[in-house]
Copies of this chain bind each other. A is one copy, B any other.
Amino acid sequence: MSKLEAAIDAIVKVFEEYAGTDDNKKSLSNAELKELINKELSNPDFQSKIDKEDIDEALENIDKNHDGQVNFREFSQCVALLAKGCFKKKYGKDKGKDKDKGKDKDKGKDKGHR
């Protein structure tokens, strides 16, 4: 498999490994999530590639529907946020994101400038 395919495969495998310890194989309990974070997101080399605030933001918002469990959709979104944090540390904030927000918000106002 390619680098990207192997990375996607690994994301699924890591989730399975930690979600599989109790009888609900399709979601991470709080205890399983804590174990995953301690074991999978603690390497100093990795932590040097991302700001702590971005790790915290990704993990704080992981349980989007607040049901006390983390399903695979929520987990994969968290992984995307962590990757974005690494990219931001290297290349700076993605101006595109602010531009999108600005564009929707001021759709009417700045028509003249386009």
Contacts and interface: CB of A to CB of B under 8 A. Distances in A.
Contact of A41 (B4, B36, B90, B96): B4
Q: In the complex this chain forms, how many copies of it are found?
A: 2
Contacts of A25: 91
Interface residues of A, number: 51
A64 B103 CA distance: 13
Interface in A58-90: 64-65, 67, 69, 71-73, 76-77, 79-84, 86-87, 90
Given A2-B46, A11-B83, A12-B86, 8 more contacts: A2-B40, A2-B41, A4-B10, A8-B82, A9-B49, A26-B94, A65-B96, A76-B84
Interface of A: 1-15, 25-27, 36, 39-43, 45-46, 49, 64-65, 67, 69, 71-73, 76-77, 79-84, 86-87, 90-91, 94, 96-97, 100, 103
